[in-house]
Amino acid sequence: MGDAADGEVWRQRLLPAILDQTGGIDVLICSAGGMGNSPAAETSDRQWREALDGNLTSAFASVRACLPSLIARRGNVLFVASIASLAAGPQACGYVTAKHALIGLMRSVARDYGPRGYALTLSVPAGSRRRWRMKRCTR
């Protein structure tokens, strides 16, 4: 249907299709994303934009488009972050930055719309206990 990070796609295609099929939105799960593997000096402009669009802008565009229905139905948004939203792992500059910003987005939306009965939840999955991952994250 389109790019979830594109507000115009949300306005013209995604939201109308969702509302046509469901009549409204009770729950929005923002879990799109992807991970690049490069430190800041080796991150291209394209990789940076992809990390921000996939992990942050898609959540912003989704929430912005769905807010009227979510507020009307006293809905809930679940933001799926990662352990990278709390701590910086190696060689993931764009990903870590976007995941940290996702928490800021959730807090900002909660501050502005929470008093209207709109619920927001943050999930921070920690990943698996693979030896290579544990070794990388403990250095």
Pairing assessment for the beta strands 27-30 and 119-123 based on DSSP bridges: unpaired
Given a contact cutoff of 8 angstroms between Cβ atoms, the answer to whether 117 and 74 are in contact is yes
- Tokens at 105, concatenated: 């987005």
Residue ranges of E strands in the chain? 27-30, 76-80, 119-123
DSSP conformation class of 33:
-
118 in active site: no
Least Cα distance to 53 among 128, 2, 116 occurs for 2
Q: Please state, as a whole number, how many other Cβ atoms lie within 10 Å of the Cβ of residue 62.
A: 23
d(CA 98, CA 88): 11
Which residue in the list 10, 60, 79, 95 is annotated as catalytic?
Answer: 95
The residues carrying an active-site annotation are 95
